[in-house]
Amino acid sequence: MNTTKIGWAGLGNMGIPMVSNLLKAGYAVQVFNRTRNKEKDVLDAGATAAGNLSKLGSGNDITLTMVSDDAAAKELFTAPEGLLAGEVKGKLFINVSTVSPETSRFLEESCINKGAAFMEAPVSGSVKPAQDGTLIILAGGTEDAYQKAKPLFDVLGKLSLLVGPVGAGSAAKLAINYFLGLNLQGLAETVLFAQANGVKTEDMLTIINEGACGSGITKLKSPAILKGEFPAAFALKHLAKDLRLAKEQGLDAPLSTPLYESFKQAQEAGLGDEDVMAIYKHLDK
């Protein structure tokens, strides 16, 4: 078993398979989730439970966090009983959530003030790559922190890149999710236009996927369009949030505003908890 003690806060659709892969790789992992019953699967797989966030942060060499938004990430670290409440000097904290560059830099400063190190490592990929350990990890931080974290990244993903200082990883994640949104919106619009002009859905998807326009994401999402079912691998509300963060970060490309408005409207229409490809359902209405 690897002797590095790992803490993990946040056990949602992504956190559970990522922790499971660390356990399979021989790491001792201690976990904390605000909704404690979500800990059950990983506890059954060999993880241990921390009594609170403070114990999680002080009791492990490296602690990773995976939560839904900026406010939740800040609370994890800075709450009175948060990760930084105990003695954390010399510890490394890694936020794998998607947050704004400003939030990442805030978390870094909070860690430094306590004598700890911080790295951001948002991931590109959804539940299936998380299960398979084939995520792409977009790290921001120092070379020293990256080298300490890399053995974990090698378990969690097929590729990790140190793209720059803290803030650069978040920016890279917002950029790739903007590209994801463009692909999904374009796929949905293309299929709906073809349908309106008498082309069968399955035929149009075959034309896309067998030609130069086909990609991993078009092939991955085609079955959902054909079935008309959109169980969340990556919830639409999270992409709407990421597009908002990108706009706040200065994204003003010609397609960025209509794209953000489209996903925002889909979320407001009640599709936020469905998969990102439910943008097709929204546009079809």
Helix (H, G, I), strand (E, B) or coil at 15: helix
Nearest to 149 by CA among 81, 65, 82: 65
Integer Cα distance of 46 and 273 in angstroms: 30
Cβ 114 vs Cβ 93: under 8 Å = no
- What is the torsional sign of CA 233, 251, 95, 119? positive
Please, what is the Cα angle at 165 between 161 and 166, to 5 degrees?
A: 100
How far CA 221 is from CA of 57, 207, 239, 262, in Å, comes to 38, 14, 15, 18
* Contacting residues for 253 by C-beta, under 8 A, at least 6 apart: none
Is residue 55 part of the annotated active site? The answer reads no
| Pick from 38, 1, 39, 54: nearest CA to 23 | 1
CB atoms within 10 A of CB 176: 16
State the DSSP code for 68.
S
Among 55, 114, 148, 173, which one carries the catalytic annotation? 173
**What are the angstrom distances between the C-alpha of 217 and each of 14, 92, 159?**
18, 34, 18
Active site (catalytic) residues:
173
